[in-house]
Amino acid sequence: MGDIHQENGLTARMAQFVCRANYSDIPHDVVEYTKVLIADSLACGFGASVLPGARHFVKVPEAMGGPEQAVILTTGKKVSAAAAAFANSYLINALDADDTFYTTCHPLASVFASALAVAEEVGASGKALIAAVAIGYDVAIRCKRSILKTRQGSMGWFVMGAVAAAANLYRLTEEQTAMAFSIAAFGSPHANGRWNQMGSGRRHDMKYWANHYTAFAAVTAAQFAKAGLTSDRTIFDGEPNYAHFIGFDGIDEQLMFEDIGKRWWIAETSIKPWAVCRYSQISITLIKEIMAEHGLQPNDIEQIRVQTWDFIASPWFCDNIEITNEYDAQFSFPHAVAAAGILGWEMGPEWQAAAVRNPMLDDLARKISITPNPRYEQDSVLTNEGNKYMATVVDVVTRGGTFRKEGGTALGDPFDEKYKLDMDRIWEKYRIFSQPTLDHEAMDRTFSRIRMLEDLPNVQFKLTV
């Protein structure tokens, strides 16, 4: 492996970026969209209080206690920064309504939960929090895109973005940041729970990735490095490196650092309007547009035919005859399309419980068929980062005829101007999702602070319950 003192080493260069980048380096439009994503993440966390699993989960970080440094989103309990990051990362992803990068992953739950916890601990400014979130997200995606994926490995690289956010806020040195990357690599989860759950066919509280342990590992790694703990200082360099550690084949240096400091990847992550898996969001968008354009009502629908990615058209997403728990609702493509697209449910936190053993919704879901799109590869935009444009064809069959719409983006995609959500448009989701935890006064107060976050001198306990 290389040496941290070699300026061209991958670990050293990434540590330099994390320690030297700040709010003034981030373009105004990226700052504004980062604030939108902060509002979205908080809304998702507040909304998770409706889930029985989430209520059970927070008992553990509450019991961890420690100094009152940061807040658990759903209870207002003040705990240590590490315990708060542990809790909030789980909560933000629990409803499956959090951000999705190019239809492949949800890194913001870990990155933002870590950043918020440390920002509350150190009394960081709003500008510092915005910068840490943007920097951390950028590191996460740069790790994702540069890891050579010739075989199935882990989503463990989430942790590097969370480490970056924490290191930036703790004002670690470049040496300490390199150490923190390595400490987190040794201490974070690597088992790919997503595929384990899909292989078993059972959906449960742990879902598909241990976001909570990722955030906990990130914050404690930064704390260990700050305290002087030593580790391998060159985790991204030579062979074996971090990519091999999590089951992949290496790191592409060019992809890791291409346009660093110029192209901010957080500006390209999508927001979900509805609390369901990202894979159904494009179809829901197209169906809602067809229903509105042609004045269709639920009783008009005889059948809906969707052609999309063959992975989505698999039994795990499409063969749920009955919803038995909230996690079934999150991942059943037909039920999500029936609830949001046909019935027009707002699909906030409560819809998942309403879908459980709902015969009327089950009957509607049977009207929806999902098959592979034969032109998916030709018509989609598939990048090294993920699936940016997923060619989808929807046919809504009624007694009066069949209505077709084709597309590949969804409401909430920032790379499609007609669907991009700004602060005004995210308010509706924030209002709906925050209701289980916040009263109207707290809702208005916290959202107003997010809107003007760059003017907030100290974020401690200002954005939470």
DSSP for 115-172, please give it: HHHHHHHHT--HHHHHHHHHHHHHHHHHHHHHB--SS----TTHHHHHHHHHHHHHT-
Question: Nearest-CA neighbor of 316 among 340, 333, 338, 339?
Answer: 333
Residue 389: DSSP 8-state: E
CATH 3.40.50.2000 fits 10-270, yes or no: no
CA 115 to chain centre: 14
Strands (E), 78-122: 78-79, 100-101
pLDDT for res 206: 82
Q: Which residue stretches of 366-459 are H helix?
A: 376-379, 423-434, 440-451
Q: The domain 278-407: what is its CATH number?
A: 3.30.1330.120
pLDDT for res 309: 95
Q: Write the pLDDT tens digit of every residue in 137-164.
A: 999 999 999 987 655 556 778 899 999 9
The helix (H) or strand (E) run that includes residue 257 is: helix 253-257
Question: Nearest-CA neighbor of 198 among 309, 108, 330, 308?
Answer: 330
Domain residue extents for the chain: 10-270, 278-407
Q: Write the pLDDT tens digit of every residue in 433-463.
A: 999 999 999 999 999 999 999 999 999 999 9
Question: Nearest-CA neighbor of 265 among 44, 26, 24, 427?
Answer: 26
CA 264 to each of CA 117, 260, 420: distance values in angstroms, whole numbers, following the listed order:
23, 8, 16
Given a contact cutoff of 8 angstroms between Cβ atoms, the answer to whether 306 and 280 are in contact is no
- Indicate the pLDDT class of residue 189, thresholds 50, 70 and 90: confident
* Residues 146, 298: Cα–Cα separation, whole Å: 46
10-270 with 278-407: one CATH topology?
A: no
Q: Give me the percent of the chain exceeding a pLDDT of 90.
A: 84
Q: Write the pLDDT tens digit of every residue in 205-242.
A: 888 788 899 999 999 999 999 999 999 999 999 999 99
pLDDT for res 3: 47
Q: Phi/psi class of residue 136: alpha, beta or left (left: φ > 0; alpha: ψ in -120 to 50)? A: alpha
CA 50 to each of CA 53, 79, 356, 428: distance values in angstroms, whole numbers, following the listed order:
9, 21, 14, 18
Question: Nearest-CA neighbor of 450 among 28, 37, 115, 111?
Answer: 37
Q: Write the pLDDT tens digit of every residue in 320-360.
A: 778 999 999 999 999 999 999 999 999 999 999 999 999 99
- Indicate the pLDDT class of residue 165, thresholds 50, 70 and 90: very high
* Residues 189, 212: Cα–Cα separation, whole Å: 10
Identify whether 240 is preceded by a cis peptide bond (ω within 30 of 0): yes
User: C-alpha angle 281/284/290, rounded to 5°?
Assistant: 145
3-state secondary structure of 188: coil
* Residues 89, 92: Cα–Cα separation, whole Å: 5
The helix (H) or strand (E) run that includes residue 343 is: none
pLDDT for res 201: 59
Write down the pTM of the prediction: 0.96
CA 102 to each of CA 46, 94, 409, 453: distance values in angstroms, whole numbers, following the listed order:
24, 19, 10, 26
3-state secondary structure of 382: strand
- Indicate the pLDDT class of residue 4, thresholds 50, 70 and 90: very low
Q: Phi/psi class of residue 171: alpha, beta or left (left: φ > 0; alpha: ψ in -120 to 50)? A: left
Please state the rounded mean pLDDT for residues 108-133.
Answer: 98
- Indicate the pLDDT class of residue 128, thresholds 50, 70 and 90: very high
